[in-house]
Chains A and B, each alone.
Chain A
Amino acid sequence: MRSILKCLIAVAMACTASSAWSATIDNVKKNGMLTCGTNSATAGFSLPNNEGKWTGFVVDYCRAVAAAVLGDAQKVKFIPLTPKDRFTALQSGEIDILAHNATWTSSRDTSLGILFAGTYFYDGQGFMVRQADNVTSAKGLDGASICVTQGTTTELNLADYFRSQSIKYTTVGFADEEAVVKAYEEGRCDVLSADTSTLNASRLRMAKPGDSVVLPELISKEPLGPAVRQGDDQWFNVAKWTLYVMVAAEELGVTSKNIDAMKSSDNPNIRRLLGVEGGIGKDIGLGDNWPVQVIKQVGNYGEVFDRNVGKDSPLKMERGMNALWNKGGIQYAPPIR
């Protein structure tokens, strides 16, 4: 009996002890590994390549954070998550940072115990239909069956859009993004609806990509960004400024290739970014050369975009809204100083 009591006390103490948890950045440094939640399979964004190595746009963002904190872009453990499970995984501490195709919304920022740390990809929701159906506009989708991923803003936007247009439709929802694409491909639905980046990525993996077209309408704003837990401001800053450093590097013309030469640049902005003078590392809890590690090992924003989803990738997406603010887009980094 006494041993049972001891057990109970031990369990109770274990529960209490777990409430005192340390800052995320210390945990990551202690483990020597960043745990990053990403999409399970979205071409161009997060997908294991032939050698089983994770590649993609959001994957590169995680690598950038690892480079900033640990000095090594390879020290990342990727946890593939369905949209349905991603926020719970972040809330519960299973992952350090969420780099998913997750849309930044007010309710997610305020009611889930998480914070979005910026926008790495400006997107919008669209529709993909079969060419043979001869549909040219979303207004022609009356009575259609639409495949969507559960637990996304896609589901909510659809309901809003079709209600406001008084168009009847039925949704067919799955938790897993791959099941959704499969259901569309096999004809269970007439329409596949998701963020246009995801639509393009999905089409690339279909057996007959040419059979489907993306309709011109975008029915929503989908700013996709990384998210961290609330209440850890230091870690929030790391997530936010890693992204801004990449954008600022593109703006200043610093790339992974010319970075060593750039260190001797006369431009004070470049010198500050690269930690040559008045570095930005100390107050954030990192070394002054962390931006150098990010740019050298992963690249600037433009390089990451082109390599994964842009002109150097099979997806061939336009920069569009994701071009820099001075090149017709809206990607803009606050001053690094």
Chain B
Amino acid sequence: MSDLSLPARSRRSLSLHDKKVRGIFYQVLLAGSLLALALGIGIQTASNMRARGIPLSFDFWNESAGFDINQTLIPYDTLSTYGQAFWVGVVNTLYVSFLAILLATLLGFVVGIARLSQNWVVSKVATSYVEVVRNVPLLLQLLFWYNAVLKPLPPPKSSIAIPGGIYLNNRGLIIPEIQLHPGAGLVGLAFAAAVFCSIAFWFYAKRVQRGTGKQLPVFLVSLAALAGFPLVMFLAAGEPVSFITPHLRGFNFQGGHQLYPEFAALLIGLSVYTGSYIAEIVRSGIQAVPKGQTEAAYALGLSPGKTLRLVIVPQALRIIIPPLTSQYLNLTKNSSLAVFIGYPDLVQIFAGTVLNQTGAAVQVMAITLSVYLAISIVTSMAMNAFNQHSAIVER
């Protein structure tokens, strides 16, 4: 540079030759251009839409939707508004994603650990699962579960009856409906008390172990409390819970809860598919923990199970969590494939029927994109917090 000979401090004026000023100048320029571009596109879209007579407002939100949705977790009927239909879609998407994340994580951890098993059969079964599932497109898997596994089930009239008033047919899995009578709240209260006691006992056991080295049977005691407290209260309150068993009337079963095949296919498909990726993440995470850690744990006399639980997994988690986050985000976004098997998720209800019914394509797509963005950001933030929690604490 030409001004190397001058002391930097003597140049007081704002000049593009100043590295700092130049940096700021270009950043402002870039941000401004991007903003102008976004604004330009927005204004242009709006004027094009006006020119073509496409509705621009969000007035449709409070208009009556007039169509039915077969699976809703929140109140909805044909007289509800498009806005309520939107929320039904959001809740359905969150519901299936949440359950699928739980199942996929469980499956992934089991299979990932199984792949490292000394047992030849177990490790080969796990490997084949990963290789087969990971290499087939998700959409095909969903269509497989829906069309090849669940739809060929018998029709309602020849349902497969499972003891306990459960029926399985091509309309889904129908289970008895739980009916609560007065006093049922006490059972719930007993359960809450059991949870509280278990946690308290866990803390107590930890303190005992720290003081004396003695280990208390935390798992067994918690299990006994969680099962026993509600059971005792259930009997004491005069069995305040009853079941409405489903029965076949006309075309379908009446009474009882129904788990639809569309939902089941999506849940199974997403869990099995994402599970295979998580299995690989878990396997690589465990293998990344130095072998010396295992050897040290064995040398201290820890059993293989305890070594895995107390030494390997906590260290592997640090490696596992960041890629696991991506898988959770992928799973949530993949749930939009529901459209192909008729599960009423956000895309099917809102970006499908509502968009078509109202013609407000730009607004509806913008809202749908924002929802997925928001879900992803919240998931990321939660996982980052968990990652920080499990990171190495420097002492």
A residues apposed to B, CB below 8 Å: 1, 4-5, 8, 11-12, 15-16, 18-19, 83-85, 87-88, 91-93, 108, 111-114, 133, 141-145, 150-151, 155-156, 158-160, 163, 169-175, 179, 183, 186-188, 190, 229-231
Tell me whether B262 and A155 are in contact (CB under 8 A): no
Min CB distance A101 to B, Å, is 14
Residue-wise interface mask of B (128-141) relative to A, using a CB-CB cutoff of 8 A (1 in contact, 0 not): 00000000000000
Tell me whether A143 and B67 are in contact (CB under 8 A): no
Tell which of A12, A83, A113, A133 touches B40, judged by Cβ atoms closer than 8 Å: A12
A151 to B355, CA, bound (A): 8
Tell me whether A18 and B48 are in contact (CB under 8 A): yes
Q: Does B26 contact A (CB under 8 A)?
A: yes
The residues of B that contact A229 with a CB separation of less than 8 Å are 52-53
Most B-side CB within 10 Å, residue of A18, A170, A173, A174: A173
Measured as residues with beta carbon below 8 angstroms from the partner, the interface class of chain B is: 35 or more
Tell me whether B48 and A188 are in contact (CB under 8 A): no
The residues of A that contact B361 with a CB separation of less than 8 Å are 88, 91-92
Tell me whether B70 and A91 are in contact (CB under 8 A): no
Q: Does B339 contact A (CB under 8 A)?
A: yes
The residues of A that contact B55 with a CB separation of less than 8 Å are 111-113
Q: Does B251 contact A (CB under 8 A)?
A: yes
The residues of B that contact A88 with a CB separation of less than 8 Å are 355-356, 359, 361
Min CB distance B138 to A, Å, is 17
Tell me whether A230 and B342 are in contact (CB under 8 A): no
Tell me whether B52 and A12 are in contact (CB under 8 A): no
Min CB distance A286 to B, Å, is 24
Tell me whether B356 and A87 are in contact (CB under 8 A): yes
Ranked 5 nearest A-B pairs via Cβ: A151-B356, A113-B53, A112-B359, A159-B78, A230-B53
Q: A111-B359, A133-B251, A190-B252 are in contact. List 14 more A-B contacts (CB 8 A).
A: A8-B37, A12-B36, A84-B352, A84-B353, A91-B52, A114-B53, A143-B250, A151-B353, A159-B67, A160-B78, A172-B342, A173-B353, A179-B340, A188-B171
Tell me whether A175 and B348 are in contact (CB under 8 A): yes
Closest to A163 in B: B78
| Known contacts A88-B361, A172-B70, A188 near B250 by CB under 8 Å | no
Residue-wise interface mask of B (355-385) relative to A, using a CB-CB cutoff of 8 A (1 in contact, 0 not): 1111101000000000000000000000000
Closest to A232 in B: B52
| Known contacts A112-B54, A171-B70, A188-B261, A150 near B44 by CB under 8 Å | no
Min CB distance B278 to A, Å, is 30
Min CB distance A94 to B, Å, is 12
Q: Does B257 contact A (CB under 8 A)?
A: no
Ordered by A's residue number, 16 sampled pairs between the chains whose C-beta atoms are within 8 Å are A12-B40, A19-B44, A84-B355, A85-B356, A91-B359, A112-B359, A145-B252, A159-B66, A159-B67, A159-B78, A171-B70, A173-B344, A175-B339, A175-B348, A186-B152, A231-B53
Tell me whether B37 and A143 are in contact (CB under 8 A): no
| Known contacts A19-B44, A144-B252, A188-B171, A159 near B356 by CB under 8 Å | no
A91 to B33, CA, bound (A): 30
Tell me whether A159 and B68 are in contact (CB under 8 A): yes
A230 to B50, CA, bound (A): 11
The residues of A that contact B357 with a CB separation of less than 8 Å are 151, 156
Tell me whether A144 and B251 are in contact (CB under 8 A): yes
Tell me whether B151 and A186 are in contact (CB under 8 A): yes
Tell me whether A155 and B151 are in contact (CB under 8 A): no
Closest to A152 in B: B356
Closest to B359 in A: A112
Tell me whether A113 and B52 are in contact (CB under 8 A): yes
A171 to B70, CA, bound (A): 6
Residue-wise interface mask of B (29-59) relative to A, using a CB-CB cutoff of 8 A (1 in contact, 0 not): 1100100110011001001110111110000
Tell me whether A15 and B40 are in contact (CB under 8 A): yes
The residues of B that contact A93 with a CB separation of less than 8 Å are 52
Per the 8 Å Cβ criterion, residues 326-363 of B in contact with A are 339-340, 342, 344, 348, 352-353, 355-359, 361
Tell me whether B254 and A187 are in contact (CB under 8 A): no
The residues of A that contact B210 with a CB separation of less than 8 Å are none
The residues of B that contact A4 with a CB separation of less than 8 Å are 30, 33
Tell which of A15, A112, A173 touches B41, judged by Cβ atoms closer than 8 Å: A15
| Known contacts A156-B67, A231-B51, A231-B52, A150 near B356 by CB under 8 Å | yes
Q: Does B314 contact A (CB under 8 A)?
A: no
The residues of B that contact A142 with a CB separation of less than 8 Å are 250-251
Min CB distance B93 to A, Å, is 16
The residues of A that contact B340 with a CB separation of less than 8 Å are 179
A169 to B251, CA, bound (A): 10
Per the 8 Å Cβ criterion, residues 177-197 of B in contact with A are none
| Known contacts A188-B261, A231-B52, A155 near B44 by CB under 8 Å | no
Q: Does B81 contact A (CB under 8 A)?
A: no
The residues of A that contact B52 with a CB separation of less than 8 Å are 91, 93, 113, 229-231
A85 to B361, CA, bound (A): 10
Most B-side CB within 10 Å, residue of A108, A175, A231: A175
The residues of B that contact A85 with a CB separation of less than 8 Å are 356
Residue-wise interface mask of B (7-26) relative to A, using a CB-CB cutoff of 8 A (1 in contact, 0 not): 00000000000000000001
Min CB distance A117 to B, Å, is 15
A179 to B352, CA, bound (A): 15
Tell me whether B51 and A19 are in contact (CB under 8 A): yes
A91 to B53, CA, bound (A): 9
| Known contacts A113-B52, A188-B261, A155 near B33 by CB under 8 Å | no
The residues of A that contact B44 with a CB separation of less than 8 Å are 15-16, 18-19
The residues of B that contact A84 with a CB separation of less than 8 Å are 352-353, 355-356
Tell me whether A183 and B342 are in contact (CB under 8 A): yes
A19 to B170, CA, bound (A): 51
Tell me whether B68 and A158 are in contact (CB under 8 A): yes
A12 to B39, CA, bound (A): 10
The residues of A that contact B254 with a CB separation of less than 8 Å are 143
Closest to A17 in B: B44
Tell me whether A150 and B252 are in contact (CB under 8 A): no
Q: Does B214 contact A (CB under 8 A)?
A: no
Tell me whether B359 and A145 are in contact (CB under 8 A): no
Most B-side CB within 10 Å, residue of A144, A150, A158, A230: A150
Tell which of A87, A145, A175, A230 touches B171, judged by Cβ atoms closer than 8 Å: A145
Min CB distance A271 to B, Å, is 39
Tell me whether A8 and B252 are in contact (CB under 8 A): no
Closest to B170 in A: A187
| Known contacts A15-B40, A19-B47, A173-B353, A143 near B249 by CB under 8 Å | yes
Tell which of A16, A170, A173 touches B348, judged by Cβ atoms closer than 8 Å: A173
